[in-house]
Amino acid sequence: MKRTVVFPLAMVGLISIGLFGCHTRYIPNTSVEATDFNRSVIAFCERYRHAVEEMNMGLVLALASPQYFDNNGTPLGDDDIDKTGLEDFLHGQFSHVKAIRYEFKYRDVYKENMKVCVDYTYTISFQFELDGDLKWSNKTADNRLELEAVDGGFLILSGM
């Protein structure tokens, strides 16, 4: 004898809520929860990323906080960069590079103390001239941008 199982309508509704109602939405192509704040952070970071690809040193510097400081993840101070050092560094890098492709895979956006932190993996490919030949170099690494919120937007405190 064949049995038929009938679920009450209320049970079907609870199962549906359990399967679909608590679903976290992410910003496309990221692992970052889709909130208005996170979208604004990612949009700012994309502005920075595009400025690097376009080798727009003026815009990259405009996106840096006056308090910009990066210790480059080392304990020694010989590679630390402040905003003035950042300008010198960018000028040196952009003068040797012919083309840049800079890609970000955003992993997380969160607040830490008074900063907004953006964890991402980047892949950078750049073309340069060496002995009259054009060469490409690639690098993939994890990084963190630290941002400060200012006037409804952001500036980069470290991580360029």
Report d(CA 28, CA 131) in Å as an integer: 42
Q: What is the pLDDT of residues 66-121, one digit of tens each?
A: 999 998 766 676 678 999 999 999 998 888 899 999 999 999 999 999 999 999 99
With a pLDDT cut of 70, the percent of the chain lying above it is: 83
Nearest to 49 by CA among 101, 111, 115: 101
Report d(CA 63, CA 26) in Å as an integer: 25
Q: What is the pLDDT of residues 121-155, one digit of tens each?
A: 999 999 998 888 999 999 999 999 999 999 989 99
Once rounded to an integer, what is the mean pLDDT over residues 6-11? 47
In this predicted structure, the answer to whether residue 46 has a pLDDT above a threshold of 50 is yes
Q: What is the pLDDT of residue 9?
A: 46
One-character DSSP codes across 73-119 = T-SSGGG-EEHHHHHHHHHHHHHHEEEEEEEEEEEEEEEETTEEEEE
E strand or H helix that includes residue 36: helix 36-53
pTM for this predicted structure? 0.82
- Name 66's Cβ contacts closer than 8 Å, sequence gap at least 6: 83
Q: What is the pLDDT of residue 124?
A: 97
Residues 128/97, Cβ–Cβ less than 8 Å? yes
Nearest to 59 by CA among 47, 75, 74: 47
Query: What CATH number labels 27-158?
Result: 3.10.450.50
Domain boundaries, the chain: 27-158
Q: What is the pLDDT of residue 14?
A: 44
Residue 86, both tokens: 């950042």
Q: What is the pLDDT of residue 12?
A: 47
Q: What is the pLDDT of residue 1?
A: 55
Q: What is the pLDDT of residue 21?
A: 52
Q: What is the pLDDT of residue 103?
A: 98
CA distances from 28 to 25, 100, 106, 136 (A): 9, 23, 10, 29
